[in-house]
Amino acid sequence: MRHPSPLSATSAGPPSSRTLVVVAHPDLASSRITARLAEAVSDLAHVTVHELGPAYRDGLFDVAREQQLLRDHDRIVWQFPWYWYSVPTVLKAWIDQVLTYGFAYGSSGSALRGKTLQLVTSTGGPEESYASVDPTSRFTMTQLLAPLDATARLIGMRLAEPLVLHGARTMSDENLAMHAKRYRELLGSTRRTD
Ligand SMILES: Cc1cc2nc3c(=O)[nH]c(=O)nc-3n(C[C@H](O)[C@H](O)[C@H](O)COP(=O)(O)O)c2cc1C
């Protein structure tokens, strides 16, 4: 039985929008942003929140289980803190181990084709640090996310417009709550970039 969301009447969506939220943080207990965002969507009826930490043992995932989770959902969210202009190690390990030849790519690897990939991340740096004129980084988030965009293209997933929270370190509780609400509403409908 589906339970309507208190914030969005459309968030309980049809079966075709079953959403897997892959939460990738090295220590969720110490997280402010990632933990708050995961909590904000955890009670949505069509959403499965899947923490990678407990599923990662001795550097390995149960690949068959992870791939079944992907098969069982139509929209996949990668939710992670932005580390060194990239994804945290646990998400990189998951990508390396789970998106295998014959499953995600290759002549018979079509399990993810047509599904949607939604990136949800947070940066310590402010939005200005991710403008092309910034003397330190010089690159926009769109440019920095290019490897994930290329990954999505290779495995036939449609990349949704990423949801990025900037300035994580100094973000007020009020602004974090507003962002969490936006995220919750986003999982009710996703705008695609293509
Ligand atoms: C190892 C590490 C690397 C980081 N690299 C970046 C970075 O490249 N750019 C940036 O803006 N913030 C960076 N940060 C800041 C994190 O993105 C920020 O602390 C995180 O989004 C907060 O989320 P959390 O509360 O869930 O941990 C880094 C933080 C750590 C611990």
Mean per-residue pLDDT over the chain, rounded: 90
140-186: per-residue pLDDT in tens?
Answer: 999 999 999 999 999 999 999 999 999 999 999 999 999 999 999 99
Contact 105, 152 (CB under 8 A): no
pLDDT of residue 7: 27
Name the architecture of domain 15-186: 3-Layer(aba) Sandwich (3.40)
Taking 60 as the threshold, does the pLDDT of residue 2 lie above it?
no
Residues within 6 Å of ligand 1 by CB: 25, 31-34, 81-85, 122-125, 168
CA of 115 to the centre of ligand 1 (A): 28
How confident is the model over 103-124, as a mean pLDDT?
Answer: 98
Domain boundaries defined on the chain: 15-186
pLDDT digits (tens, 9 = 90+) for 127-140: 999 998 888 888 99
DSSP-assigned letters across all residues of 151-177: HHHHTTPEEBPPEEE--GGG--HHHHH
- Give the Cα separation of 17 and 74 in Å (integer): 6
